Amino acid sequence: MPAYTLYGAEVSYFTGKARAYLRWRGADFEEQIATQQVYRDIILPNVGWPVIPVMKMPDGTIVQDTADIIEQVEAAEHRLPPVLPATPLQRFVALLLQLYGDEWLTLPAMHYRWTYNEDWAYSEFGALSAPQLSRPEQYEIGKKNGQRFKGALPVLGVHPETIPGIERSYEAFLGEFSRHLDAHPFLLGERPCLADFSLIGPLYAHLYRDPKSGELMKLLAPAVAEWVERTHAGEAGTGELAADDTIPETLLPILRRQMREQLPALMETNELFAGWAADVSSGTPVPRAFGEIIVTIEDHAGPAAARSFPLWRLQAALDAYEAMDADAKARADKLLSSIGGSALRTFQLPARLARKDCRLVLA
Ligand SMILES: N[C@@H](CCC(=O)N[C@@H](CS)C(=O)NCC(=O)O)C(=O)O
């Protein structure tokens, strides 16, 4: 029997991230489709809310959240090279790109799925949750289940006002990533790391595998489509990360895009978090959102929920920054200044976040 079981789905953003990592790691795992029965018997009793992917570890414990799954498999497998770069600046950048892949590229991923692949997505959702039913019956179930995900569009900031900006930004991102791939096979060098698996989240299930989105990616950025194929297959790469803890120059346009678009949203969210955290005590469950913010993408602005989870991913990146020695911090500051991210040097969350029973709480 395989050591690990990953409960997820081919259509799922975060299952793609975990799967690509597990393949690369060479972990002995099997994937089981998260059918309605799996949600009822495994996910809800152990996690408390309906979410995938969920991982059963060799000792039977259930882990949710891809960062935790990756961390726990890394600790259990003891293999080299580590998925999280061992050197400080690359580690920081990998965590920033995890924040970007997990919590910002959701906008193009979800927009392209639900604007251009809606019927296809309903059929896929239905087929995975009720494989025993007929195609029309699956479609009806898929439509019901899919509405929950489609309903996340305004929460993320996808509206008629922002869609032109989301499309312009995504197409420019594809160009930037293609130019990077002309010089380096993976994000930080000659082999994949956490940054690559994090970008597989949006770029595999939604933007490559959804038919209309995949056509667009292959047309505009065949090198990105090819990177998706290699990375999702768990390819090991042919060498190491860039030497001397450097960040490839060709990655800077992508980091600049992240700082320009995502950082203001994080800062606004953090202000609302501060207001909420002012009168709550340690251990209090953190709501999924603190209110509303305005997101701006390529000059197109619209409302979005001030979601708390991105601050959790940001806290991990800021911890890596704080842990740096003076030399690494000086190099990080130079990088931040060149990508428009200097605000991160002094960025403070008003209170620390923690996770308890698969939910965010105030530490
Ligand atoms: N932070 C979580 C996110 C998981 C997640 O959002 N999964 C999606 C499917 S890809 C889901 O099930 N969402 C349901 C929900 O958020 O209510 C992770 O990294 O595992």
User: SS3 for 193-237, per residue?
Assistant: CHHHHHHHHHHHHHHHHCHHHHHHHHHHCHHHHHHHHHHHCCCCC
Res 148 pLDDT > 90: no
Q: Ligand 1 in contact with 139 (CB < 6 A)?
A: no
Q: Residue whose CA is closest, atom 11 of ligand 1? A: 51
- If DSSP codes are grouped into helix, strand and coil, which group holds residue 30? strand
Q: Which atom of ligand 1 is nearest to the CA of 64?
A: 20
Q: Are strands 4-8 and 289-297 parallel, antiparallel or unpaired?
A: unpaired
Mean pLDDT of 324-342: 98
Q: Give residue 271's pLDDT.
A: 98
For ligand 1, is residue 51 a contact (CB within 6 Å)? Answer: yes
Mean pLDDT of 108-128: 96
Taking the C-alpha atoms of residue 76 and residue 27, their distance in angstroms, rounded to an integer, is 10
Range(s) of the chain covered by CATH 3.40.30.10: 4-77
For domain 4-77, give the CATH number: 3.40.30.10
Taking residues 128-157, report their average pLDDT.
Answer: 93
Nearest to 86 by CA among 251, 300, 255, 245: 245
Q: Is the pLDDT of residue 171 over 90?
A: yes
- Residue 204: pLDDT over 90: yes
pLDDT at residue 110, as a whole number: 98
The length of the chain is: 363
Does the pLDDT of residue 238 top 90, yes or no?
Answer: no
Nearest-10 Cα torsion for 169, 171, 174, 175? -100
Model confidence at 45: pLDDT above 90: yes
198 ligand 1 Cβ < 6 A: no
- Of the pLDDT bands very low, low, confident and very high (cuts 50, 70, 90), residue 140 is very high
Compute the average pLDDT of residues 9-14: 97
- Contact assessment for residue 145 and residue 241, using Cβ atoms and an 8 Å cutoff: no
**What's the number of CA atoms in the CB half-sphere (13 Å) around residue 177?**
26
Supply 259's token pair.
């700082």
Cβ(66) – ligand 1 distance below 6 Å:
yes
Is the CB of 312 within 6 Å of ligand 1?
Answer: no
Average pLDDT over residues 322-342: 98
Residue 106 Cβ inside 6 Å of ligand 1? The answer reads: no
Which strands, in side-by-side order, build the sheet including 62-64? 29-33, 4-8, 54-56, 62-64
Mean pLDDT of the chain: 97
Choose one of 11, 14, 125 to mutate for the ligand 1 pocket test, by most ligand atoms within 8 angstroms of C-beta.
Answer: 14
Ligand 1 atom at minimum distance from 15 CA? 10
Which is the closest atom of ligand 1 to the Cα of 51? Answer: 12
Question: Pairing relation of β-strands 4-8 and 54-56?
Answer: antiparallel
Q: Is 316 in the pocket of ligand 1 (CB under 6 A)?
A: no
Q: Which of 215, 199, 228, 222 is nearest to 99 (CA)?
A: 199
Give the residues across from 63 on adjacent strands. Answer: 55
Give the pLDDT confidence of 248-298 residue by residue, as tens digits: 999 999 999 999 999 999 999 999 999 999 999 999 999 999 999 999 999
Contacts of 74 (CB under 8 A, 6+ apart): 25, 82, 83, 84
Give the closest residue to 207 by CA, choosing from 109, 117, 116, 107: 109
Amino acid identity at 67: A
Question: Helix %, strand %, coil % for the chain, to 5?
Answer: 60, 10, 25
Per-residue confidence (pLDDT) for residue 71, from 0 to 100:
98
- Percentage above 70 pLDDT, the chain: 100
Torsion angle of C-alpha atoms 125, 128, 132, 135, degrees rounded to 10:
30
Tell which atom from ligand 1 comes closest to the C-alpha of 148: 17
Rounded mean pLDDT, 69-78:
97
Calpha distance 343→267 (Å, rounded): 9
pLDDT at residue 129, rounded to an integer = 84
Read off the pLDDT band of 59 (50, 70, 90): very high
312: pLDDT strictly greater than 90: yes
Ligand 1 centroid distance, CA of 1 (Å): 27
Give the model's pLDDT for residue 222. Answer: 98
Measuring from atom 13 of ligand 1, which residue has the nearest CA? 51
| pLDDT at site 1 | 85
C-beta 13 within 6 A of ligand 1: yes
